[in-house]
Amino acid sequence: MIIHPIDFRYGTPEMKKVWSEENRFSCIVKAETALAYSLGVCGIISKADADEIIGKAGFASHKRAREIEEENSHEVMAIIQAISEACGDVGRFVHFGATSNDILDTALGLQIKEALDILDEKLRHLLSVLLKRAEETKHLVCIGRTHGQHALPMTYGLRFAVWAAETARHLERLDELRPRVCVGKLTGAVGTMASLGKDGIRVQDEMMKYLNLEAVDVSTQVVSRDRYAEYIFFLANCVTTLEKIAVEIRSLQRTEIGEVAEPFGKNQVGSSAMPHKRNPIKCEQVCGLARIVRGMVEPALLNNTLWDERDLTNSATERITFPEASVLTDHCLKIMANVIGNLTINEEAVSYNLHYLQGVNLAESLMTEAAKRGMARQTAHEIIRKASLLALDEKRPLSEVLEGSEIMSLFEKEEVLEYLNADAYVGLAVEQVESLVSKLSVHLHSAV
């Protein structure tokens, strides 16, 4: 019986595979194999015995481990026994000097490493899509909005560039995150390495080198969960950016605004009752799933507050938070890259909205120039403020309302129209977009 929507509705095959029970078992076997290798390198067991474990451990059966766990109710001991059976006589050295979480946390480090590789690729793809759209629309002037109200003109390219810059910062965070979360340990039951004696640090270092993971400097019985809280927060931060983009698209797709529309299939149905509907369901899905991922930040933080050298309160939580947060974040990245890449922009609606206030939203341009020409800035502000409110009330062009005002003593009529031209008041929007595209394109290509 399938219950969880991740099993049939959300997530990519590649990320689901990382957090599958089978891959977890495989990572645990890799950790045990690495332990055997390091024991051999350090002379604690013979190299021949280590090589035999390395060669045979992969034949351990997940099914057999499950059967054993049904009897002994201890997951790690069941896996150890399954590996030992597969290794024959040298199986007696499997798990030598280790405690359960030496293996479990190290295996988790391998899973997180795989997950970050996938997220890195998805973030880079999203960044490339955003940069492409920024370049395509760098000259497309639109109305900017603050507080949900028309503000000053900007460009769609600038909007895409802001999202691209934020995505690039997530890639930087991901790189910074790797050495802190892709870690393993072999410190034993309370962190002293007592079971390995003077060779403990060397054995741990060799084990992590074999797995291409960072070794913890110190730990209790478990890797400190501040590391994993940072990973979960990284995922929450990523999906919040995606939600931010999705919210803006949803807003701009409102019937009354109509500037953009997320992709809509030829045979797609918007509503069972209203045949005309074209709802932004992909963006709405991302917004909904982002709430789930963010909701996992607090449990991740609480998992660091374990009793003494450890308790088991983190275990059940992490079996849920790691797979769900990783799979849903990856899913949202894929969805939003597709939405943005295929986003329809209605330039007619963009132009209509840009000129809707008939120059009122260009009041800043005129006020600034009046101040440059000698009028006190606050005086100009008050004159234009009153004229703007009157223009809004009477639905008249601001230039018309200003006729006969003190402002007009500074300008020719044609000049006023020039300063109230929306297309001419986008500042350095184009230059900023071009600079960012150039900067991040180089960064993107050099990092791949």
pLDDT in tens, 13-72: 999 999 999 999 999 999 999 999 999 999 999 999 999 999 999 999 999 999 999 999
Whether the pLDDT of residue 179 is over 70: the answer is: yes
User: Using an 8 Å Cβ cutoff, are 172 and 161 in contact?
Assistant: no
The whole-number pLDDT of residue 237 equals 98
- Report pLDDT for 275: 66
321 pLDDT more than 70: yes
Over residues 75-104, the pLDDT tens digits come to 999 999 999 999 999 999 999 999 999 999
pLDDT of residue 419: 86
Q: Tell me, yes or no, whether 275 lies in a domain.
A: no
Residues 373 and 416: their CA atoms lie apart, in Å, by: 13
Tell whether 53 and 80 lie within a shared domain: yes
Residue 278 lies in a domain: no
271 lies in some domain: no
User: Domain tally for the chain?
Assistant: 3
**% of the chain residues with pLDDT over 90:** 79
On whether both 81 and 185 belong to a single domain, the answer is no
Query: What is the pLDDT of the chain when averaged over all its residues?
Result: 93
User: Which candidate, 219, 345, 338, 210, places its Cα nearest to that of 281?
Assistant: 338
The pLDDT assigned to 448 comes to 42
Same domain, yes or no, for 292 and 349?
Answer: yes
Most confident of the ranges 113-127, 263-277, 413-427: 113-127
Residues 86 and 117 in one domain: no
List 4, 46, 271, 445, catalytic entry:
271
Q: Which of 147, 276, 409, 446 is catalytic?
A: 147
> Which two three-digit tokens encode residue 57?
């451990």
pLDDT in tens, 254-266: 999 999 999 876 7
Place of tokens 């766990």: 69
Are 222 and 110 in the same domain? yes
Q: Within this chain, do residues 134 and 197 fall inside the same structural domain, yes or no?
A: yes
Cα gap 39→30, rounded to integer Å: 14
In a domain, 269, yes or no: no
* CATH code at position 77: 1.10.275.10
Least confident of 209-223, 253-267, 292-306, 336-350: 253-267
Which CATH number is 130's domain given? 1.20.200.10
210 CB contacts (<8 Å, ≥6 apart)? 34, 37, 38
* 161 and 253 share one domain: yes
Query: Quick check: is 337 in a domain?
Result: yes
219: annotated active-site residue = no
**Residues 107 and 91 placed together within one structural domain of the fold:** no
The pLDDT of residue 310 is: 93
In a domain, 377, yes or no: yes
Q: Which amino acid is at 256?
A: E
Phi, psi of 19 (to 5 degrees): -100, 15
Q: How far, in whole angstroms, is CA 25 from its chain's centroid?
A: 27
- Of 39, 72, 96, the position where a domain reaches its end is 96
Name the nearest CA neighbour of 153 among 441, 380, 365, 387: 365
> Is there a domain that residue 248 lies in?
yes
**Distance, C-alpha 169 to centroid of its chain:** 10
Containing structural domain, residue 66 = 13-96
State pTM to two decimals.
0.93
240/364 same-domain check: no
Whether the predicted pLDDT of 446 surpasses 60: no
In this structure, are residues 327 and 299 in contact, taking their beta carbons and an 8 Å threshold? Answer: no
pLDDT of residue 277: 66
Neighbours of 272 (CB within 10 A): 7
What residues does 154 pair with on adjacent strands? 142
Q: Do residues 50 and 129 both lie within one domain?
A: no
User: What is the spatial distance between Cα 174 and Cα 70, in angstroms, rounded to a whole number?
Assistant: 39
Of 63, 96, 129, the residue that ends a domain is 96
CB atoms within 10 A of CB 50: 23
Query: Catalytic site residue 147?
Result: yes
210 plus 64 within the same structural domain: no
> Is the pLDDT assigned to residue 271 strictly greater than 70?
no
Task: Answer for the pair 99, 191: CB distance below 8 angstroms, yes or no.
Answer: no
Among the candidates 62, 96, 130, a domain finishes at 96
Query: In this predicted model, what pLDDT tens digit does every residue of 138-172 receive, in sequence order?
Result: 999 999 999 999 999 999 999 999 999 999 999 99
Together in a domain, 252 and 109: yes
Is residue 429 situated within a structural domain?
no
